[in-house]
């Protein structure tokens, strides 16, 4: 069964053809990073306009790369949220038009669930439940108990900035490019040692995160308000270490407390190799993490999550709507 996955929730126009929920036939991502870089972040109106321009060529490329004709698409899966409203609308309306024209089932996908299902792409192994999913992206930092396919309970979340957002903001403070995560990771890898130990937030709830205090601390250091500023690379390494430690500590705690049989690491920040390494070292249970290219937004993860929903008998009508504030669990 060939599922076309369509993802336009933020600044990537991404379409993919995935066979039987896990075999990637094509996965085309048209990134708008350069367009938004000069503004230091994603400009919603520009994102929508770019999606409109890119979506047909990206579909054509996805079909060509998969060697699949449009008529060989068996179902259409599309991100309905969370994300930027105008950006989501482009993908959703395109998906509806395609599903209607082809007389194929349509299914709406939660973008965060898509990130989780990226962990099972190109793999044969069955998922083991219960599992803890640590979803860390530009907009979310969630610790989720996954009791089965499509069954989620959110245990924790960020009370302020998301992990990826913190990377992006600190990158800006250090004069690095956008998106900040890869830039910080690159710079940190050149440091001989981190610039000391930066704080980890203490929160009332056991699985919650807070990163805005850490960002403010970095800002004070950069401005020389805490003495002579250390080299940017050492500061980047100390920042990354603090974020990684908080994320791994909470995910491992949640896994232990809930008898999880595995941890799934998902979302754009999961591309970070310090995070991947630390979680693998400290987790008491197996860690499933997608290859870095499948951690950031893509259409294959939407097709994979949509496939599971379709198998469960879920399809959407043409009244399917976006849900920009959609959560998980
Ligand atoms: O999942 P994603 O592609 O889009 C959202 O759904 O938000 O995540 C994007 C976020 C950005 O904040 C970006 O800086 C971060 O993921 N990111 C990283 C890395 N690659 C992307 N953060 C840390 N290290 C990375 N290597
Ligand atoms: Zn994402």
- Cα distance between residue 111 and residue 302, in whole Å: 7
Confidence at residue 178, expressed as pLDDT on a 0 to 100 scale: 86
Residue nearest to atom 22 of ligand 1 (CA): 181
Q: Residue 272 Cα, ligand 1 centroid: separation in angstroms?
A: 8
Mean pLDDT, rounded, for 135-145: 97
- Cα distance between residue 310 and residue 299, in whole Å: 16
Confidence at residue 94, expressed as pLDDT on a 0 to 100 scale: 98
Beta carbon of 48 within 6 Å of any ligand 1 atom: no
Q: Residue 105 Cα, ligand 1 centroid: separation in angstroms?
A: 31
- The pLDDT tens digits of the residues spanning 291-316 come to 999 999 999 999 999 999 999 999 99
Q: Residue 295 Cα, ligand 1 centroid: separation in angstroms?
A: 8
Under the banding of pLDDT at 50, 70 and 90, the label for residue 41 is confident
Under the banding of pLDDT at 50, 70 and 90, the label for residue 198 is very high
Q: What is the DSSP string of 65-128?
A: HHT--GGG--EEEEEEESS-HHHHHHHHHHHHHHHHHHT--EEEEEHHHHHHHGGGTT--SPP-
Q: Is the pLDDT reported for residue 125 higher than 80?
A: no
Per the prediction, the chain carries an average pLDDT of 97
Kindly compute the dihedral angle of the four CA atoms of residues 46, 301, 307, 70, in this order, to the nearest 10 degrees: 60
Q: Is the pLDDT reported for residue 177 higher than 90?
A: no
Pocket test of ligand 1: the residue of 13, 179, 187 to mutate, having most ligand atoms within 8 Å of its CB, is 179
Burial class (CB in 10 A: 0-12, 13-18, 19+), 224: exposed
Dihedral pair phi/psi, residue 162, rounded to 5°: -75, 160
Q: Residue 67 Cα, ligand 2 centroid: separation in angstroms?
A: 27
234 close to 194: Cβ distance less than 8 angstroms:
yes
Q: Is the pLDDT reported for residue 318 higher than 80?
A: yes
4 close to 303: Cβ distance less than 8 angstroms:
yes
Percent of the chain with pLDDT over 90: 95
Sketch out the chain's domains with CATH numbers: 2-120+294-311 (3.30.420.40), 131-289 (3.30.420.40)
The alpha-helical segments, DSSP class H, found in the chain are 33-37, 44-66, 85-102, 111-117, 163-173, 180-188, 212-222, 232-257, 273-282, 292-295, 299-311
Model's pTM, two decimal places? 0.97
- The pLDDT tens digits of the residues spanning 146-174 come to 999 999 999 999 999 999 999 999 999 99
Confidence at residue 319, expressed as pLDDT on a 0 to 100 scale: 97
- The pLDDT tens digits of the residues spanning 82-98 come to 999 999 999 999 999 99
Burial class (CB in 10 A: 0-12, 13-18, 19+), 94: buried
Beta carbon of 240 within 6 Å of any ligand 1 atom: no
Confidence at residue 95, expressed as pLDDT on a 0 to 100 scale: 98
- The pLDDT tens digits of the residues spanning 232-276 come to 999 999 999 999 999 999 999 999 999 999 999 999 999 999 999
Under the banding of pLDDT at 50, 70 and 90, the label for residue 40 is confident
Beta carbon of 161 within 6 Å of any ligand 1 atom: no
Query: What DSSP element (H or E) covers 23?
Result: strand 23-31
Pocket test of ligand 1: the residue of 164, 244, 246, 328 to mutate, having most ligand atoms within 8 Å of its CB, is 164
**Residues having C-beta closer than 5 Å to ion ligand 2:** 137, 297
Percent of the chain with pLDDT over 70: 100
Mean pLDDT, rounded, for 205-220: 98
């Amino acid at each position: 069964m060939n599922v076309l996955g369509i993802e336009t929730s933020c600044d990537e126009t991404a379409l993919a053809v995935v066979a039987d929920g896990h075999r990637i036939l094509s996965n085309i991502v048209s990134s708008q990073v350069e367009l938004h870089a000069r503004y230091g972040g994603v400009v919603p109106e520009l994102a929508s306009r770019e999606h409109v321009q890119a979506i047909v060529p990206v579909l054509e490329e996805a079909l060509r790369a998969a060697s699949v004709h449009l008529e060989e698409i068996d179902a259409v899966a599309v991100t309905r949220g969370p994300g930027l409203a105008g950006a989501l609308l482009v993908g959703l309306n395109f998906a509806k038009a395609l599903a209607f024209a082809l007389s194929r089932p349509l299914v709406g996908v939660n973008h965060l669930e898509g990130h989780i299902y990226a962990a099972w792409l190109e793999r044969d192994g069955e998922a083991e439940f219960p599992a803890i999913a640590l979803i860390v992206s530009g907009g979310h930092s969630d610790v989720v108990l996954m009791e089965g396919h499509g069954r989620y309970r959110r245990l924790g979340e960020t009370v302020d900035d998301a992990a990826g957002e913190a990377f992006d903001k600190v990158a800006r403070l250090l004069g690095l490019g956008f998106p900040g995560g890869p830039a910080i990771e690159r710079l940190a890898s050149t440091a001989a040692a981190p610039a000391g130990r930066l704080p980890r937030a203490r929160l009332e709830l056991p699985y919650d995160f807070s990163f805005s205090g850490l960002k403010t601390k970095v800002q004070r250091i950069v401005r020389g308000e805490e003495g002579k500023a250390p080299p940017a690379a050492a500061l980047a390494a100390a920042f990354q270490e603090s974020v990684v430690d908080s994320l791994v500590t909470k995910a491992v705690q949640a896994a232990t407390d809930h008898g999880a049989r595995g941890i799934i690491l998902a979302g754009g920040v999961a591309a970070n190799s310090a995070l991947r390494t630390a979680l693998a070292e400290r987790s008491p249970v197996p860690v499933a993490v997608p290859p870095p290219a499948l951690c950031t937004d893509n259409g294959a993860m939407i097709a994979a999550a949509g496939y599971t929903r379709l198998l469960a008998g879920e399809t959407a009508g043409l009244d399917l709507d976006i849900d920009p504030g959609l959560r998980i669990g």
